[in-house]
Structure formats: structure tokens, C-alpha cells
Amino acid sequence: MSATLWTRIQKFLGITADGIPGNQTAQAVAARLGIDAATPAATPSSATIDPRSAANIATLKPEAQMKAREWLLKCLEAGINVKIITGTRTYQEQAALYAKGRTAPGPKVTNAPPGYSWHNFGVGWDFVVFDANDQPLWESPLMERCGRIAESLGLEWGGSWKSFQDIPHIQLKQDCTLAEARQMVSSGKWWS
């Protein structure tokens, strides 16, 4: 359904007409239909996770998978066309990336050798917002909105980092350091 139609429905219901059907719209529709709004009706949302995001989510640790799904659905329900474009990178994959611009051709793409990125530990993912033609919008203000949604769910957003801002990055808050995580990986305790 188009945003224009939702806007008209919302205007008709006398609520904020932002064209994005969320909880408020559901409640207003329920009230109009005489359904007890205290029993929250299912949010009328057609939000589904795209295959690329789903594949990347599948590479994360179970608790990160849950949060990534929750975050992504929240963004989609807000009408943002966002996808998870990176999940976990194995040490081997990180090594290949780190080699670029050093021992392999091309420009440098990362400063993190294997074990020095939270992507190597199944707790972080990268996202980008897409336009209607599936072109990535790295500079879109919606990137920040997705980051703020992550923070509202208790996640860490790279856009709030002080020393090195990483706007497309989200991760579970960790109570250990990367060095401790590496130690746990080598003693077989991290992924279990």
C-alpha cells in the first residue's frame, strides 16, 4: 500500500499523518472498528526481512540474531528500506580484507587484522539504506534514524562512537575487550 493512501487514512482517523502505518495507526483503526484497543491488534505491517539481510543475520551469535531481527523489523515498520549487508567475518575473511592495499591489490579497506573487529565475533553487523531503485544511500539522514532505533533497543551504534565514527555499524554491547574475546575464541569458549 502506498504512503499516500496511509496518509489519507491517518488524516481521516485524525492522527499524525506521516504515511507510515505503526502502532498509533493500528490503535486508531481498532478504535474506529470498535475493537478493544487495549488488546493490541497486530501491527498492520507487511515488513519482511529480505534474503540478503536474513543470510547475514544467520552468521551472528544467537543473541545477536534476535536483536538484529528486532532492530531490522523496527526500521522496516518505520518505512525505512534498510538491509544488513555484513554480518560475521571469519578470521580468514578478515585476513583477506586486511590484505587489500597491503599485500593484495586495491586500496586499504580496513585497519583491523583478524580478531581486531567485532565482526569477527558474531556480535556486529553493518547496514545501509536503499532507495526505490535499490541504490545504497550512505549519506541519507535515515542512516542516523536506523542508528537511533538501534540505541533505543539497547544496542551500540557506531555513529555515536567518539574516536572513530562508523555510521553503518551496530553491535551488541560487550562487557569484554577484543583481547579477551580473542582469548575466548582461542580457548574455544566464544562460540559455544
Kindly list the residues in this chain that would bind Zn ion in the complex (CB under 5 A). Answer: 126, 169
Cβ 119 to Zn ion shortest distance, Å: 6
CB-CB contact of 101 with 70 (8 Å): no
Q: Which three cell numbers, joined as nine digits, stand for 49? A: 526481512
Cα separation, 9 vs 17, whole angstroms: 8
Of 145, 174, 146, 170, residue with least CA distance to 158: 170
Cβ 106 to Zn ion shortest distance, Å: 19
Cα separation, 96 vs 103, whole angstroms: 9
Nearer to Zn ion among residue 25 and residue 53 (C-beta): 53
Cβ 110 to Zn ion shortest distance, Å: 10
Cβ 1 to Zn ion shortest distance, Å: 33
Bridge-partner residues for 130, per DSSP?
136
Nearer to Zn ion among residue 6 and residue 157 (C-beta): 157
Nearer to Zn ion among residue 126 and residue 156 (C-beta): 126
Q: Which residue is nearest to Zn ion (CB)?
A: 169
